Structure formats: structure tokens, C-alpha cells
């Protein structure tokens, strides 16, 4: 996908700032998606290694509610 950077010069400071904020948020989201499973696995393994109950981890993950569902309530 080509991005027409010429149009950036026509944006107001507010719109350019909003675009930057949205781009940084998307970059952060993608980074989290790329690393979250490995991070959770590593932390869960440490939890189990020191005597934590694996069942409580499974329950905690199963009980997660997507943010969209939380804000709709």
C-alpha cells in the first residue's frame, strides 16, 4: 500500500497529531499481538514452577472478557 505523504502537509496540526496517535496505537497493538502469547506462557511457567495452581491460570484466562464487551455493559 502506498501512502501519499504529500497529503500530510495539508493536515492541520490537530489532525496530524491525531493521525500520529492512531498510528502509534496501532503499532503498539501489533507489537502486543506478536509478543503476548510468549510472554503469558513464560509468566505462567514461572507461576507453575514456584508452586502456583495451573487450574487457576486456566480459569483466569477463560474468565477474560474482551474490552468491547466490557464497554458495552
Q: What is the pLDDT of residues 50-70, one digit of tens each?
A: 999 999 999 999 999 887 777
Q: What is the pLDDT of residues 37-55, one digit of tens each?
A: 999 999 999 999 999 999 9
The predicted pLDDT at position 68 comes to 74
Helix and strand element counts for the chain (H, E): 3, 0
Residues near 57 by beta carbon (within 8 Å), at least 6 away in sequence: 44, 47, 48
From 28, 2, 5, select the one nearest 16 (Cα to Cα).
5
The predicted pLDDT at position 34 comes to 97
Task: Decide: 54 and 48 in contact? Cβ < 8 Å.
Answer: yes
pTM: 0.69
Amino acid at each position: 500500500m502506498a501512502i501519499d505523504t504529500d497529503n500530510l502537509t495539508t493536515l492541520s496540526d490537530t489532525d496530524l497529531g491525531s493521525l500520529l496517535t492512531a498510528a502509534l496505537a496501532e503499532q503498539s497493538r501489533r507489537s502486543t499481538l506478536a509478543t503476548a502469547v510468549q510472554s503469558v506462557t513464560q509468566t505462567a511457567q514461572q507461576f507453575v514452577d514456584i508452586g502456583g495452581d495451573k487450574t487457576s491460570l486456566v480459569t483466569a484466562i477463560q474468565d477474560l472478557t474482551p474490552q468491547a464487551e466490557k464497554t458495552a455493559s
